[in-house]
Structure 1
């Protein structure tokens, strides 16, 4: 269950705060206008505020201002132009097609531009519902602008006052996802769970975690933190140190499962890691409440049992001895994880000395940048662009929806059909499919609830109260459980009609029928000019491989002491994880597409998992060298690391034997250093997983039909070589 859906944490999440803020702003502005200028003006102002509120996302203040200002100006212009064209049917239809196309092209700017596309379509539909004189169009456009600008001013002030609270909540969400990620790792020790399925689940959770961590970076690392925000910076950096430790821990599942299946030690390890996940969750829980976190989880009994189990292990030889060594190493890593969680608790209690930032470091590579240049839009005005084809698809679907509404036997609001199309029809077939189901079920439930409310409640003040709840619920669940948002949106629209047209009960049945028709049209057009996920897979695979190379190079430079700090290593790791998350997301969406549009799902699963393991091995190497730093024969270890990374870059040709020979020679020269065995095992696993990445990449190339001899194929064959 998403943490926002749990009653214990719902009221303290930034999703609930956002919904409450939006509802207060919209209903407050509507109520104020109602007392000053009457109900019709109040509804127009409320529509302007509602549209602007959809751009009210958790963002840095400057980004929020730019996003909301763009929404106010663009949507006010759409309302004015459509209103002026409304008396001329052919001109109105032409403008609707043009606005639908241009608004849908906005998604080229990424996820944050998608609300702007929807609100533009929303405003267009409402403005085209009734013919207006030029004076009426100017009046309605002015009211819309006042509502949008008023909400924008209100939201900017509230967020500025509560920006520390927002940072706490976004950081807490990243901690909740880290706890979920750690809990997923605990499942890898459950013999009842297939390891391959658990690893795939781990990679998917890693993608979600990366997204939440990026949101935390954008808010906490941008600009100079205020004095009362230094604790948040400390916790943020402690979270990433803990993340790297968890990432590096538990990569030897196969060996442990082979040799300790049926023994009590694997459930014991799973219990310890599960407790660690709950401990991390307690830090997030305290963060959402603005309190210092205190450790409440007790590991002592499990740690004593684990220590006794390790002491009782009989002497082993060969692979059995290696499995015992891995078990002891895993025990050490778990203890380090527990100690790191204690540091996370301490970081949340008070500022501790200097902030953990590199002096003068440019944090830009870690932050999301706004790029809304006209050149990006123009570059995608081509037939091969998925965004261009999506924009054509939306324009055609909405045109069909509006034309069909004129032929319906019941008195309909044509914009309901068009809005259903705008909500359901998304750039991705899989998201369209999910929205279709959520929209239908949500509308049905919302209509039934509203029918009950309008049957028994007639006082406007009480109806405004229900409207407030529906307005708050919509944005609260928009990115968590869209079905709940669909319920709230239906109630919101029908309650507005109930307030303005007291005897408009027939609108409930009409909305159901219009939603069904809009869904059918959207479903049909999801197959028109499609852009299937497999068409983009070659580019995404190549991006992962390129990020992989860069990460290995920067990791090698760090471990070999060629750089003074880990700044470039962290940047490369972030970019590698981002590219892997993008590929994993595309794979998940592809699996929701028709069966004949799926390509190499097993190979892609294998590719993402092996790349993930490669990152884990690199992080584990860092921890290994720290753990065995005492009396380390630096020159010999560095020579052996160079050979190991050369083996990876050379795609394992004859290099592995050379690495093993170099390691054996170094171990004979300095046999007292205890790190030789763990280092040998870690480098061997790194090479093996690099080889698996190469094999999976080549298999993907064959499945996707890449011709041999292309640059992509050569890259696949050499994997990490340059």
Structure 2
């Protein structure tokens, strides 16, 4: 691991930038108030700033601004209501039920409002017992309101001064994830690779890439300054993002028969050189991503063309000594691998030129795409959507009930005098932070919260025990605060650890000498909240991941069929819109990532809920292969070359029929007998005859010493046919997997 690059990636990321902005917005007013001896009296000011700051999720400026305005108003109202009803126990419980359910349910409108809802409940938890407001409720609420407004002011100023900052960071993050994907691909060229492990790593990385691409689409496509402005910077950011998607498509096309490759070329230095070359390219892409995140100038170090020529020379040298007519197809395979690497190199070279802010390239950016079609689906703020989710079949409804029940139990436990807690806010906050719609996520965060709190508390206790200098403690608190807000999304364990440290520091500044009490309370509250959360997540209307399998399988099966048909139509019609191709590719990749993500969460479910885990894994793997092989096929479709030797019409019918058989099983529809017969038709290709003819020619003539980067037409049609055969074989395997899965599901249902 290159620790220098990893540190640069983090220091230039949107996470550290956002974390530092929130932390400074909190600390600067706090220092000023402390200088005048007003911090204890106005402690609610920085508290309001922190809550509103956490609602600022990456996205288009208008949405971020509107969410912050909503947060300022809502948080202040919740603080006022909670403070007013604190002396009425029945009203407090009613408040928990109404607010707990409502602010959990608004997650139906997307992740942005889900975060806003969670933080609204955190505000409720802070003010529920009135220990912060005291007797002057109006004054306390106004101070809290001003703290909320302060972050909104900071946000508006920063956004005005740096309108492109977030867009540059998220586009750069896309390239960093692509570089990691390329590093995994490079491992296929090492000695004795573990193919199963590498495939799982690729699928996990695809989930990360999909999530980043979804976030970036929204930020780039829905930000007027990026889409509509004609400035070079805005056009280049747009083009850089579109090219990152094309690069990902090229990386998907590098799916090969690696086992066969190692059998033929494993003892040569060729594979090692390819491995090193791909790592070098990944490092350059990483440096490019860091430059985009930081807004600095990128300088390319490696001359890819020179390095690639050395690999080709090594290949031609090996071929001149080892080629035989019998090994012809093996060398064809290696030529195709090198060709795919060349295409990736060309794409990366184009990206480097665009990033160099070539004005001509920037102005050539096509505006023909309908950007609205590429945006992630987000529910409109329509009350009918909210009402329609009032059903036990809704994940949001079930989650809202779990949150409400957990908050009620947590609050009741906190009132038990025998426990000596005396307050309830930290139990409730911990429940809100841990309890998520998916059991697997809840379980994972529960453990991270416990470990992070324990280790952070020990570190903070030691710091406060041995260090008494206020200036040093202030630096530690500020650093911990920045790290906490920076890592809250990317690494929950470390975020909790630093959160615990800065909370200890904060309470020490407000009430020096209470470190033992803080240590005991923090750990006890976390243990209680963790226990409550686990029991509620497991027993109260749980949503197990296996219940989502069929729906996600249906979506991925359908999108792969649409993607394949569109690509094959490209060979037949040749008049295909680029926008339509991009849409189908996007849908196939997103549905694959969602299916893979669900499978990974399923692994964390209880053993008795991991229904046919291996079968689901096989379906995920075959879906990945179909998507990758179709992406490889699309490169030939877009090449503009003619391939009359391939019977594309019958291949389309044959493979589509096999995929439709899978869909009919998933949708439980009666299969048309014609479709079943169509899956067995034989395309009338002429590739085998041409290969035999070429092999016979090589028996009687010497191999040409000509060295060229281009590949022959025969090599192309051979690979196209192999891809079509692979897609058909994998589609057939997938259908058999579904047959087995549905038989198991039917038997399980019958037993129940």
TM-score (norm 2): 0.86
Cα distance 1:597–1:21, how it changes in 2: closer, same or farther (>3 A)?
A: same
Deviation at 1:5, TM superposition (A): 9.1
1:548 and 2:557 equivalent?
Answer: no
Structure 1 CA distance for aligned equivalents of residues 32 and 387 of structure 2: 42
1:453 and 2:441 equivalent?
Answer: no
1:386 alignment partner in structure 2: 395
Structure 1 CA distance for aligned equivalents of residues 39 and 713 of structure 2: 82
Equivalent of residue 719 in structure 2, options 658, 661, 678: 678
Deviation at 1:541, TM superposition (A): 0.9
Equivalent of residue 661 in structure 1, options 684, 687, 693: 684
Cα distance 1:62–1:620, how it changes in 2: closer, same or farther (>3 A)?
A: same
Cα distance 1:584–1:704, how it changes in 2: closer, same or farther (>3 A)?
A: farther
Q: Contact 2:647 / 2:684 at 8 angstroms: preserved in 1?
A: no
**Residue by residue, what CA displacement relative to the aligned partner does 1:377-411 show, whole Å, maximum 9, x if unpaired?**
22211122222222222222222222212224435
Deviation at 1:571, TM superposition (A): 0.8
Deviation at 1:360, TM superposition (A): 4.1
1:368 and 2:376 equivalent?
Answer: yes
Deviation at 1:9, TM superposition (A): 2.7
1:274 and 2:279 equivalent?
Answer: yes
2:737 alignment partner in structure 1: 696
1:253 and 2:258 equivalent?
Answer: yes
Equivalent of residue 326 in structure 1, options 312, 318, 333: 333
Aligned residue pairs, count: 700
Cα distance 1:263–1:469, how it changes in 2: closer, same or farther (>3 A)?
A: same
Structure 2 CA distance for aligned equivalents of residues 274 and 133 of structure 1: 57
Trace 1:601-612 onto structure 2 (pairs within 5 A): 601-612=613-624
Cα distance 1:122–1:359, how it changes in 2: closer, same or farther (>3 A)?
A: closer
In structure 2, runs of 5+ residues without a counterpart are 660-675, 695-711
1:481 alignment partner in structure 2: 491
Q: Contact 1:86 / 1:131 at 8 angstroms: preserved in 2?
A: no
2:672 alignment partner in structure 1: none
Trace 1:270-669 onto structure 2 (pairs within 5 A): 270-297=275-302, 299=307, 300-317=309-326, 320-351=327-358, 352-353=360-361, 355=363, 357-368=365-376, 370-371=378-379, 372-407=381-416, 408-458=418-468, 462-505=472-515, 506-528=517-539, 529-561=541-573, 563-625=575-637, 629=641, 632=642, 636=644, 640-651=647-658, 658-663=681-686
1:237 and 2:242 equivalent?
Answer: yes
Cα distance 1:430–1:174, how it changes in 2: closer, same or farther (>3 A)?
A: same
Q: Contact 1:439 / 1:483 at 8 angstroms: preserved in 2?
A: yes
Structure 2 CA distance for aligned equivalents of residues 386 and 571 of structure 1: 28
Structure 1 SS opposite 2:361: coil
Trace 1:19-98 onto structure 2 (pairs within 5 A): 19-32=19-32, 38-98=38-98
Structure 1 CA distance for aligned equivalents of residues 603 and 364 of structure 2: 42
Structure 2 CA distance for aligned equivalents of residues 643 and 442 of structure 1: 59
Q: Contact 2:439 / 2:605 at 8 angstroms: preserved in 1?
A: yes
Deviation at 1:676, TM superposition (A): 2.9
Structure 1 CA distance for aligned equivalents of residues 682 and 2 of structure 2: 46
Structure 1 CA distance for aligned equivalents of residues 507 and 748 of structure 2: 59
Deviation at 1:208, TM superposition (A): 0.8
Cα distance 1:194–1:353, how it changes in 2: closer, same or farther (>3 A)?
A: closer
Structure 2 CA distance for aligned equivalents of residues 377 and 680 of structure 1: 50
Structure 2 CA distance for aligned equivalents of residues 702 and 414 of structure 1: 50
Q: Contact 1:200 / 1:605 at 8 angstroms: preserved in 2?
A: no
Q: Contact 1:389 / 1:530 at 8 angstroms: preserved in 2?
A: yes
Structure 2 CA distance for aligned equivalents of residues 687 and 327 of structure 1: 23
Q: Contact 1:547 / 1:572 at 8 angstroms: preserved in 2?
A: yes
Q: Contact 2:19 / 2:482 at 8 angstroms: preserved in 1?
A: yes
Structure 1 SS opposite 2:42: helix
Structure 1 SS opposite 2:397: helix
Q: Contact 2:18 / 2:486 at 8 angstroms: preserved in 1?
A: yes
Structure 2 SS opposite 1:154: helix
1:713 alignment partner in structure 2: none
Bigger drift between 352-361 and 552-561 goes to 352-361
Deviation at 1:13, TM superposition (A): 1.4
Q: Contact 1:108 / 1:387 at 8 angstroms: preserved in 2?
A: yes
**Residue by residue, what CA displacement relative to the aligned partner does 1:67-95 show, whole Å, maximum 9, x if unpaired?**
22232222222212211111111211221
Structure 2 CA distance for aligned equivalents of residues 414 and 397 of structure 1: 13
Bigger drift between 516-525 and 45-54 goes to 516-525
Deviation at 1:608, TM superposition (A): 1.9
Cα distance 1:370–1:626, how it changes in 2: closer, same or farther (>3 A)?
A: closer
TM-score (norm 1): 0.90
